[in-house]
Structure 1
Amino acid sequence: MYSTFIFDLDGTIIDSEMIGLQALQATLKEQGIEKNLDELRFSLGIPGLTTLEILNIADIPTTLESWLEKEKPFLKNVPIFEGMIDVIAVLPKAGIVTSKTTEEMNNSFYLLNIDHHFHSIVCASDTENHKPNPDPLELALQLLGCKAKEAIYIGDSPYDMQCANAAGVDFGLALWGARTVSGFENADYIFENPKDILNLINK
């Protein structure tokens, strides 16, 4: 049914979202800004720079550096969702579109030694505009050599779905990361676990 399967990273392939949220919370607390984790969940799926702009942080470069430093010790051993790599290994073609920067990818994803499973990886450093803008997904389609109708984008955040819709690509919700279907009523597929994705290569 699809020749190409493109994935978000955080909350879809790796279980890293709480690491990022807790590091952000601790960074803000140092500046006297108290936020609970639910108040920071809007940051999931968008670049850290955008998050700090939304929070109206005065010194964004220093704050971003502190946030990344707090994440580093935990991202080196970030868990991969169970069964995910077994699924990706048998897909005809796989790619990644993530809001992580090159530096963040070097401190986390590339340490996991799973990058060989992907034909293309697009991060926040590769495009001027980021999710929910379609640019990163459209770049991935170009690099993977496929048309929008031949691909599906799988993610766990509203930004992922908006990005897919804007690029004319079908969207599959990674429920193991999203933990709710609320707000995802327009998703083309709801995947309860990674193995559900395999149903699409048998059609």
Structure 2
Amino acid sequence: MTYQALMFDIDGTLTNSQPAYTTVMREVLATYGKPFSDAQAQKTFPMAAEQAMAELGIAASEFDHFQAQYEDVMASHYDEIDLYPGITTLFERLPADLRLGIVTSQRRNELESGMRNYPFMMRMTVTISADDTERRKPDPQPLLTALGMVNVAPENALFIGDSLSDEQTAHAANVDFGLASWGMDPNAEHVHVAHRFEQPLDILELFK
């Protein structure tokens, strides 16, 4: 089928941000007297902030303080985050009438600070951050909100992400899921996958 809209996750899909995430989380967790292993980084990287905090034993009441520390430290590491090869070319070649958007668990400030220098952001019709809906991925509300804003029915859209949370979000919203294999969690067992993309430019095959 020909999709009318493509929605994208950011971390692990558009940007290779896990190395910076690991560095920042180690610094923040040190203030709580907690270590942060590579295995913990792999497990928590795809999670929303609240999920990661619970996994790491940080009280939910610490959310605002924890998130403020994370964003403050991350601000000095944005230059360490790179786009995956082919992402810029992908957006240059996607059909001009295709509605594009971002659905992320990042906070609005992190989204805008981290992505503002990429020209392809001008093509985004909608961006949904963790601040924009009451519920967050893997709840379908963020994705359905984005599709409502671009006036595209779920059955005419594709959500592209790398994590099990992204897959669950798409499935709950009755939206096809495209797995970004270049950033996927190697330990996740993906079940509801309409398309598996080995590299970003493979997405263009949908529109030939």
User: Any idea what SS the aligned residue of 1:128 has?
Assistant: coil
Counterpart Cα distance in 1 of 2:27 and 2:54? 17
> What residue ranges of structure 1 are gaps of 5+ in the alignment?
none
Deviation at 1:115, TM superposition (A): 1.3
Residues 184-193 or 70-79, more deviating: 70-79
Could you tell me the percent identity over the aligned residues? Answer: 28
Q: Secondary structure at the match of 2:146?
A: helix
In structure 1, give the amino acid aligned to 2:25: L
Separation (CA, whole Å) in 1 of partners of 2:196 and 2:68: 36
1:33 matched to which residue of 2?
Answer: 34
| 1:140 alignment partner in structure 2 | 146
Within the alignment, does 1:121 sit opposite 2:127 as a pair? yes
Q: Is it true that 1:97 corresponds to 2:98 in the alignment?
A: no
RMSD after superposition: 1.9
Deviations 1:38-68 (A, max 9, x none): 1233333333244224433243332222222
Residue identity matched to 1:101 = R
- Within 1, Cα distance between the matches of 2:198 and 2:158? 16
User: Size of the alignment, in residue pairs?
Assistant: 202
Whole-Å separation in 2 of the counterparts to 1:41 and 1:180: 9
Equivalent residue letter for 2:184: A
Q: Can you list the C-alpha shifts for 1:103-149, whole angstroms capped at 9, x where unaligned?
A: 11122112334310211111111101000000000001101111111
The Cα shift of 1:181 comes to 7.8
Long gaps (5+) in structure 2: none
Change (3 A) 1:77 1:134: same
TM-score, normalising length: structure 1:
0.91
User: Counterpart of 2:25?
Assistant: 24
2:10 partner SS: coil
Describe the SS at the equivalent of 2:3: coil
* Residue 192 (structure 1) aligned to one of 179, 189, 198: 198
Q: Is the 8 A contact 1:89 1:117 kept in 2?
A: no
* Residue in structure 2 matched with residue 11 of structure 1 by the alignment: 12
Shift of 1:186: 2.9
Distance verdict in 2 for CA 1:65–1:181, change over 3 Å: closer
SS state of the match for residue 77, structure 2?
helix
Given candidates 159, 163, 167, the residue that maps to 1:157 is: 163
Partner of 1:124: helix, strand, or coil? coil
The residue number in structure 1 matching 2:136 is 130
Q: Distance in 1 between matches of 2:192 and 2:49?
A: 27
Rate the CA distance shift 1:159–1:179 in 2: closer, same or farther, 3 A.
closer
Moved more, 104-113 or 52-61: 52-61
Query: The residue matched to 1:5 in structure 2 has which SS?
Result: strand
Equivalence for 1:112: 118
**Which one-letter code corresponds to 2:135 in the other structure?**
N
| Structure 1 residues 136-194: Cα deviation after superposition (integer angstroms, max 9, x where no partner) | 00001101111111110000010000000000000011011116385124311110001
Q: Aligned residue for 2:81?
A: 78
How much does 1:6 deviate?
Answer: 0.8
> What is the deviation of 1:81?
1.2
